[in-house]
Chains A and B, each alone.
Chain A
Amino acid sequence: MDERRLPLILRAVGAWIVTLLLFFPLGWLVLTSFKTELQAIHVPPLFFFEPTLENFTEVQRRSDYLLFARNSLITSIGSTIIGLAIAAPAAYSMAFFRTKRTRDILMWMLSTKMMPAVGALVPIYVIAQTAGLLDTRTALTVVFTLSNLPIMVWMLYTSYKDIPPEILEAARMDGANLWTEFRHVVLPLSIGGLASTGLLCLILSWNEAFWALNLSSAKAGTLATMIASYSSPEGLFWAKLSAASVMAIAPIVVFGWFSQKQLVQGLTFGAVK
């Protein structure tokens, strides 16, 4: 055998093992969601069985799936739009109008992500309570926006940094004002970065569980809270829990599947060019 092919094959095998390891829990989740509760706890575990849809109908009957889905949609899309509206100008000013402190501000923003979220739980809970915003989509949207902002600013900052400043100066000489410069030059040149930032923010908000669980319940709860509601109080119903999870993550997985190219491009910005 060709000696150079051996490392290639080993690498492929390694990659497949890692991929299967990563995929297995998700695959098992999907399998379980089509089992009955008895099949779900069967020992040894069943790989082949008669699939049933009863878990899905049960989930929809017991807990209004569409309400949670709508909350998830509104809070994640809302926080993405608001986040982009704040992060885009912030990153713009930091990328093109640097000061001595720009680097420090960026680092400080990132450092807020280093603190565990639970550290801010009490103050934020109290603020939400005082403002009468507990269990509202408004509170979740605001908190999602705030927790994603540092990453959004960073991502947009790096994508703006890829635009040579002379191009903006050329536009200014050509008579562009701040808005036309952004609309005709910055936006088209950073649309990839903007899209992937938005996508990532959407996914992070959709999957967010900590704040959703702590700040909402029946009215504003997102799909993450719906999954959680299947775990403890009435004992563990593995099949239904799995069905709820599948229903919760399916939209974002499908969405992520179609936008993966954009996402990878955005997350490896600068590294490729």
Chain B
Amino acid sequence: MAYLQLDNIQKSFGDTHVIKGVNLEIDKGEFIVFVGPSGCGKSTLLRLIAGLESITSGRLLLDGKDITQTPSGKRDLAMVFQSYALYPHMSVFDNMSFALKLAGVSKDVIKSKVDYAAKTLNLTQYLARTPKELSGGQRQRVAIGRAIVRAPKVFLFDEPLSNLDAALRGNTRVEIHKLHRALGATSIYVTHDQVEAMTLADRVVVLRDGLIEQVGTPMELYDRPANQFVAQFIGMPSMNMVEAKAIPSFSAQTGGRLPADGFLGVRPEALRVHQGQGIGAPARVELIEALGADTLIHIDVGGVPLVARQNERTDLQAGDAVSVELDPAVLHFFNREGRTVAA
């Protein structure tokens, strides 16, 4: 049975229907990532689980108990906020021990728990400082420490890395990953960054307009997206989306599997660009983006802009005439409504 169960959760703010019926079952120890574009309702959904917003209709069950109406403080969940939300007037130690203090835990126990968490997060030497004397990354670790100390049933992360600079974000992402491995705690993590989603998640929940588009492991979403939206949302750069009849040569290469009025989806790495006119569709190079490890080639195939990615560097230059070939093994087909059709 699921550890945390969302049963047809809905939320309205006045007349605005924000979450339109979400069903989800999360197992114990799972790392779940909510991902989606701005305004898709991912943060709202997290706040509903946290109890910071009231659920309009539906039920929320944790460990077999209905917690739909339970106040935040009694749900036994811990949250790491985007802004860290540390208590500015308290030392790091007091920040991390606040919940235990309110719960009436004895001082010795508090001290040992905080010391342990501080050691895990490399915060031992900062315990006496106040948040404003810490760097962004250290504040972030205190916020995580505050959650760990409580050993809650579920960890909730609301875009915890978006206030950090790029380098620190990468490091902290790895730390969170390791931490989850070590603690095995059930976690729900909200982000708009698909790299975070892909690297951290056991399962990713893709949301759009208050509804779940697809739930699956990162590779399932990448390899078998349920629809055009997921296909284009996951993967960087986005999957190329071509109308069925736009490039006749491509249609021919698919071997008749493409619905006549549907769409063909091609990941950038599934496009092979050859110098000069040869096999495949004739095209023209628009722009080269050399990223070092790989190279993005923007091409124009009879008026349709596409992006190809290859690991090798290229001698091609903007304006060159090329031909483009598909990798037939990794193509995606969508019908007119954007739903995936079996390949």
Contacts and interface: CB of A to CB of B under 8 A. Distances in A.
Interface of A: 164, 166-167, 169-177, 180, 184-185, 188-189
Given A180-B102, A184-B98, A175 B88 contact: no
Contacts of B86: 167, 170
B87 A173 contact: no
A170 B81 contact: yes
A177 B83 CA distance: 22
Interface string B86-105: 11110000000011001100
B72 interface: yes
B89 A189 contact: yes
Contacts of A174: 73, 78, 98-99, 102, 146, 150
Interface string B21-59: 000000000000000000000000000001110000000
Contacts of B89: 188-189
B77 interface: yes
B73 A170 contact: no
Nearest to A166: B85
A161 to B, nearest CB: 15
Nearest to A163: B88
A176 B73 contact: yes
Given A167-B87, A185-B87, A189-B88, A175 B74 contact: yes
B27 to A, nearest CB: 23
A177 B51 CA distance: 13
B79 interface: yes
A167 B98 contact: no
A173 B78 contact: yes
A164 B73 contact: no
Q: What 3 A-B pairs come out closest when comparing CB atoms?
A: A174-B99, A166-B85, A175-B73
Contact of B83 (A164, A172, A176, A180): A164
A173 B72 contact: yes
B98 A172 contact: no
B320 to A, nearest CB: 52
Nearest to B98: A174
Interface in B267-319: none
14 contacts: A167-B88, A169-B50, A170-B79, A171-B87, A173-B52, A173-B77, A173-B78, A174-B78, A174-B99, A174-B102, A174-B150, A184-B98, A189-B88, A189-B89
B131 to A, nearest CB: 10
A169 B46 CA distance: 13
Interface residues of B, number: 24
Contacts of B99: 173-175
Interface of B: 50-52, 71-74, 77-79, 81-83, 85-89, 98-99, 102-103, 146, 150
Nearest to B97: A174
Contacts of B146: 170, 174
Contacts of A177: 71, 73
B102 A173 contact: no
Contact of A173 (B73, B82, B88, B103): B73
B162 to A, nearest CB: 14
Query: Which of A170, A171, A176, A188 gathers the greatest number of chain B CB atoms within 10 Å?
Result: A170
A170 B77 CA distance: 11
A59 B84 CA distance: 61
A169 B82 CA distance: 12
Given A169-B52, A170-B79, A175 B85 contact: no
B96 to A, nearest CB: 10
A189 B98 CA distance: 15
Nearest to A175: B73
A109 to B, nearest CB: 25
A170 B102 contact: no
B98 A164 contact: no
Nearest to A189: B89
B73 A172 contact: yes
A43 to B, nearest CB: 60
B139 to A, nearest CB: 12
B152 to A, nearest CB: 9
Contacts of A189: 88-89
A166 B77 contact: no
B102 A176 contact: yes
A166 B143 CA distance: 12
B109 to A, nearest CB: 16
A171 B51 CA distance: 12
Contacts of B77: 173
B85 A170 contact: yes
Contact of B102 (A164, A166, A175, A188): A175
Contact of A172 (B72, B87, B88): B72
B83 A166 contact: yes
A100 B87 CA distance: 29
Contacts of A166: 81-83, 85
A170 B50 contact: no
B85 A167 contact: yes
A174 B51 CA distance: 12
Nearest to A165: B85
Nearest to A172: B72
